[in-house]
Amino acid sequence: MIPRIMLLSIINLGKGILIGASNVIPGLSGATVAILLGIYENLLQALNSLTTSFPRSIKYLFPIILGMGMGIMSLGSVLKYCLDLFSYPTCSFLAGLVMGSLPMIIRKAAKEIKLLEPRIQWKFVLKNVFFCTLPFMIITVLLSLLRSVNEIVYLEPTSLSFICFLFLGGFLAAGAMIMPGISGAMILMLLGLYSTVLHTITLIKDFLLTPSNFSLLFALLRVLTPLGGGTIIGIWMTSKFITHLLEKHYTKTYFAIVGLIIGTIITVYLDPSTYSSYSFITYPVILSGFVCFGIGMGTVFLFTLKNNI
């Protein structure tokens, strides 16, 4: 008979795989999947208790983190393959996934609005749209237009700015992973780091098959060290901050996320890498993009509707 502690660890490993796989897909929130699996509150509590109760917290977190790594590795390679060969339909599918999460976020944003008197509901909505949604949407699009990360040669981060950018990407994506309804992969797409992370995942698998390739190891470390450092610090620092935001500024936080989501969808189609698989865009390619967008949007929408999220 399997000991209860080992059985719980195996179960948490499986849950971690599902959370990790969802974190690779823009539009799907790892935190939302954790809620569905019934471990979100325990996960957040363990993260917040790392400084005060480290052995107990790490004992709970280790199988989940290990499972997340396995889930990310398994699905990341598949997405990388699709982006290389079918960039436009794949990006459209990912944009559809992001779009499909929008109704869920709007429902969360409207949670407190329903408690207000009908005569002031519209004023409250317009105020939050103007001060939270529009600024975040505009900032998102401007960041996409101004960023130059795609001009940097992959795995040759010789500049301090690139290293800092990787650290920032890991930090922000980690924070997003903790917040229900917002996708860490979506943040990476916004920053232009999504394809870089998928490529790194593929190279990690290559290194595991050829561990004597030290040149590949050093190249990976140059990316993984700042990205991983930002992720670890981001999870540790933002867990309490996000808890505070959701407790004190629930509606404003989700209105800002709406702007972030809309801006991210726009940036997908502004990014030249979306069209990198084609020398020119034909009508069948455009049609395939529309179909994949609809499939992605419908998948997340039905998933959230079925699970009453």
Q: List, for residues 210-248, the tens digit of each pLDDT value.
A: 878 777 888 788 888 888 888 888 877 777 777 677 777
Within a domain: residue 191?
A: yes
pLDDT at 195: 78
| pTM: predicted TM-score of the whole model, two decimal places | 0.65
Within a domain: residue 7?
A: no
- Decide if pLDDT at 293 tops 90: yes
Within a domain: residue 254?
A: yes
Within a domain: residue 251?
A: yes
208-215 long-range Cβ contacts below 8 angstroms, 24+ apart:
none
Within a domain: residue 62?
A: no
pLDDT at 287: 92
Within a domain: residue 40?
A: no
How many distinct structural domains can be found in the chain? 1
Average pLDDT, the chain: 77
Within a domain: residue 90?
A: yes
d(CA 20, CA 90): 20
Q: List, for residues 116-158, the tens digit of each pLDDT value.
A: 666 667 777 777 777 777 877 777 677 666 554 444 444 445 5
Measuring CA to CA, which residue among 136, 21, 83 is closest to residue 268? 83
Q: How far is CA 46 from the centre of its chain?
A: 21
Quick check: 269 and 89 in contact, CB under 8 A? no
Residue 92 belongs to domain spanning: 76-306
Q: List, for residues 11-55, the tens digit of each pLDDT value.
A: 888 888 888 887 787 656 677 678 767 787 788 788 878 778 888
Within a domain: residue 35?
A: no
